[in-house]
Amino acid sequence: MNSSKSLYHGVANLTPGMLAAYARGTGWVQVTTRRKEVLVFRRRGRGADEVAIPNDPIFSDYHDRMLDAAMGLAAKAGVELSDLLMLLSAPEADILRSSVRDPLTASGMIPLSRGQGLYAAMRKALLSSACAVVDPQPYFPRLSRTAADLFVESCSIGQTEFGSFVATLVCPHKQPAGDPEYVSVLDEGPGDFTRRVTTMLMLSAAKIVNNIRTHDERRIVESADSDVVISGNICEALAELEPATEHGEVSLGMTWSPTRPLRQRVPSEVSFLKAYFPSIRDMASALRPTNRPEVSTFLGEVDSLYGLHDTNVGFRGEILISFQWRGTSQRARVWLSRDDYSAACDAHKANHRISVHGRFERSARHSYIHDADHFTVIKGLFDDDT
């Protein structure tokens, strides 16, 4: 929660350069004046709108003038001062908010289990959207893709706000680029990966709500829209946001980084009434597959290694294998534990074949073998000259 004292402390941590950069990124133009102690900005086409940012901290009223400038920029942008301060603390990030408005949260507090569930649902919504960017499909039996996992791990929790319980997650635009799958994802489609994920989330939420309001939920299930593919996983995540009281309301909001202009029209806030959630749960059930793929043991070779290092566990993660399936050559990703991943590395180095048991699922972009077990390295039994 933010009191007036903490807000003033937040303003005290600002610099003139931070406010000036925000002003330029949101359409303000710096004008030349004879006053060297301030930076003056005006809105394009709006001569009456002017903000003066103090440029010299030696003045006794420096912090008061910084507060006035920050409040002026926030007011013209139509955002709370606390929102502006958080945005300025992470200018290279999109900020996701989930606001719970009901009598139980009017004080700004929320039961511990409910708060934990709220953050878990937000994480799942981001992860579902990231997986949909990497590999669009109606449902992800195992909600994990290397690039999506890296993205979610880079996000952090922001401060809560007063008046209702507002959970925030900060999604940075600067991402690690060492992973092969992540690099390939960066090269696909317009914009950086973070903006594509946050855009996907807000467009998905808006599409779901709009179809509920028009009583056209079936279109979500039957739609083949290639731009906004609604997955059962995102519906499951949104269902977990359901408010506790009958008249409660939950909203998802996104504050877009001022350094990354939006390239399309995307809603900045989507609200969910209590009455929407039965329909959301129905969508999730309809999108979840009922016919499970055939389970089998697959014999093949390790093509690529995509594992991540965990300081407590070591290397583990996905590998890419090639194999024959029903007379055709196939490639699929398989997630392996530490020991199996180490064995896969050895097989890759020695050019040995492997076998793995699991469920083979094909999708538009990548195929996967889920629930993998009995991973075995086969040495010397399938030489090329036999």
Query: Could you read off the pLDDT of 309-338 as tens digits, one per residue?
Result: 777 778 888 999 999 877 677 889 999 999
Label residue 63 by pLDDT band (50, 70, 90): confident
Residue 321: which of 335, 333, 306, 337 has the closest Cα?
333
Q: pTM (2 decimals)?
A: 0.65
Ordered by where they begin, the domains of the chain are 4-88 (3.30.920), 93-287 (no CATH), 295-378 (2.40.50.140)
Which pairing describes strands 314-325 and 249-255: parallel, antiparallel, or unpaired? unpaired
- Distance (Å, rounded) from C-alpha 160 to C-alpha 100? 11
What length is written for the chain?
386
Per residue in 265-282, is it b (16+ CB within 10 Å) or e — as a string?
Answer: ebeeebebebebbebbbb
* Separation between Cα atoms, residue 86 and residue 89, nearest integer Å: 5
Chain-centroid distance, C-alpha 34: 45
In this structure, of 172-181, 273-282, 315-324, 330-339, the range with the lowest mean pLDDT score is 172-181
SS3 label, residue 280? helix
Contacts of 291 (CB under 8 A, 6+ apart): none
pLDDT for 161: 57
pLDDT: which is higher, 149 or 102 = 149
Q: What is the pLDDT of residue 145?
A: 87
